[in-house]
Every structure is written in structure tokens, then in C-alpha cells.
Amino acid sequence: MTKQLTNSTMMQRVGVAAAAGVVPVVSDAIKLDKANGVLFGVVMGTIVATGVVTIKAEVSDNNSDWDDVEGSEVVMGATESDQIAVVEMGNVAQAYARVTVTRTVADSTVDGIIAVGTSPGISPIANHASVGASVYLGSAVIGTP
């Protein structure tokens, strides 16, 4: 049996590309009113030879005062250039979640940040307005798109 993710998850673009630099990148918050968990995908571009990128999750009850999530820190270096860092949290009790990308030592680029809200047992969940189009195929059959 195939699980329809487009109906049971809420995808949202929460961060745009950030040019090479060392300034922190803070994603937009995802509101968890229809989800109780979230998966963030931070798409990295080039991380220069001495660059260090630290990604952490934060949660908030009011979308204003943010608290770090214990154990959420992911560290990437030059060998992880052009890769994706994934931070997933289940059973989030707070109303909002986001990630902060700290770029230190040397320039690094961020290509974008995606959040996928998850809510077991509740569907359908409507996608965020940042999703321009989606399609679900119950099975992949060769033919005209």
C-alpha cells in the first residue's frame, strides 16, 4: 500500500537562497496548527574549505520568543558542500518551529530551506501558499505526462 504524502504532510518553503557569507540565516517559522511534527531540509551550496555550518532547530509558543531544541544541532563542513542537512522533530508541543543556520570561519552559501509538517492520522492537510503545484500518482505508469 502506498502512502500519499501530498495529502498527509504540509510542505512549505521557509528559506530562500542566501549568498556566500558568514551572516546567520534564520528560516521562516512553520505554524504547527495542523501538524505535530516537522522535517526541515536545509539545502547547502558551497561550503569553503575552512567553512563550518551549524544548523539548529528552535520552537516558540508565540512566534516571537524562541527556544533551542536539545539535540537538534547538525554541523557541516566543506565535505558536505551541495548536500542537504535534515532536522526532524516529532511530537512538537509548541505552536511554531524554525531552523537557524550559523555560518562561521569562511563564506558558505545556502540554496534554500524546506519544511514538511507531519500529522499522523489527520488528512488531508493543505499545503502552504509557497507550494505552486503538486501531483499525486497512485502508481507510476510509463506514458504521457
Position 122 pLDDT exceeds 70: no
pLDDT confidence band for 129 (50 / 70 / 90): confident
Position 131 pLDDT exceeds 70: yes
Report d(CA 11, CA 22) in Å as an integer: 28
Report d(CA 99, CA 73) in Å as an integer: 10
> Residue 99: what residue type?
V
Report d(CA 94, CA 14) in Å as an integer: 18
47-65 mean pLDDT: 96
Position 1 pLDDT exceeds 60: no
Q: Residue 86: enclosing H or E segment and its boundaries? A: strand 84-89
Contact 32, 99 (CB under 8 A): no
Q: 72-101: per-residue pLDDT in tens?
A: 999 999 999 999 999 999 999 999 999 999
pLDDT confidence band for 138 (50 / 70 / 90): low
Give the pLDDT score at 123: 65
Give the pLDDT score at 124: 67
Give me the DSSP letters along 115-127: EEEE-TT----PP
Q: Which domains are seen in the chain, by residue range?
A: 5-118 (2.60.120.1110)
121-139 mean pLDDT: 70
CA distances 115 to 29, 67, 106, Å, are 9, 18, 26
Q: Quote the pTM value.
A: 0.86
Least confident segment among 60-64, 114-118, 120-124, 125-129? 120-124
Q: C-alpha grid cell for residue 108?
A: 558558505
